[in-house]
Amino acid sequence: MNRLGRVGGIYHRRLISIVLGIIALLGLVAEQSVSAAPHEEFGWPMQPRPAVERQFDRPAQDWLPGHRGVDLAGTPGQAVFAAGAGIVVFAGRVAGKPVVSIDHPGGLRTTYEPVQAEVSVGLRVARGARIGTVEAGHEGCGAAACLHWGARRDESGHSRREYIDPLGLLHSTPLRLKPVT
């Protein structure tokens, strides 16, 4: 085989492996987005669309420091809405802060704090249903009031909780593949 044939064969095999890798990646992305929930199912928990004061910072381990949600700028008394349809599983106080938690299909739970609840445990809520009002006093927030919006997925079979970025539920950034150089 001449040199040109070897180079062409190497190029062809490399191109096939890149294409197969992209197909596998697309399958993984599609599987994760389906398990999280289709993008039509979740929306912003405050209107108008709030500024993000503090981003999600996944802890290396569940018990290590991190920021298990996002802080959204608001005003005291501003309405808070269910980001997606589900069942209210908690409406009360945790460490002195008012909290609302909603379970969604697929083992997903969203949490909102500090929120003065207008819903009770067991209530089925639709996406966009008013669940309470945000209170002032969220530490580290530069706005008059901040909503801490968190999300986690419970993996069935492993009894493992995984904190996820709730902004990922919105799918507001389109997926773009870049060319391989």
Tens of pLDDT, residue by residue over 35-84, are 344 445 899 999 999 998 888 777 766 665 556 788 999 999 999 999 99
φ, ψ at 6 (rounded to 5°): -65, -45
What is the reported pLDDT for 32? 39
**Degrees to nearest 5, angle at CA 128 with 124 and 132:** 75
Question: Looking at per-residue confidence, does 153 or 131 come out higher?
Answer: 131
113 touches 151 (CB < 8 A) = no
**Look-up of token digits 């912003």:** 44
Q: By CB neighbour count within 10 A (0-12 exposed, 13-18 middle, 19+ buried), where does 128 fall?
A: middle
pLDDT for residue 125 is more than 60: yes
Asked if CATH classification 2.70.70.10 holds for the domain at 41-169, the reply, yes or no, is yes
What is the reported pLDDT for 34? 35
Q: Which range, 9-18, 38-47, 74-83, 142-151, is most confident?
A: 74-83
Per domain, the residue ranges of the chain are 1-36, 41-169
In this predicted structure, which of 37-41, 149-153, 155-159 has the lowest mean pLDDT?
Answer: 37-41
pLDDT for residue 30 is more than 50: no
- Please compute the mean of the pLDDT values over residues 116-124 and round it to a whole number: 97
Which element (helix H / strand E) includes 31?
A: helix 3-36
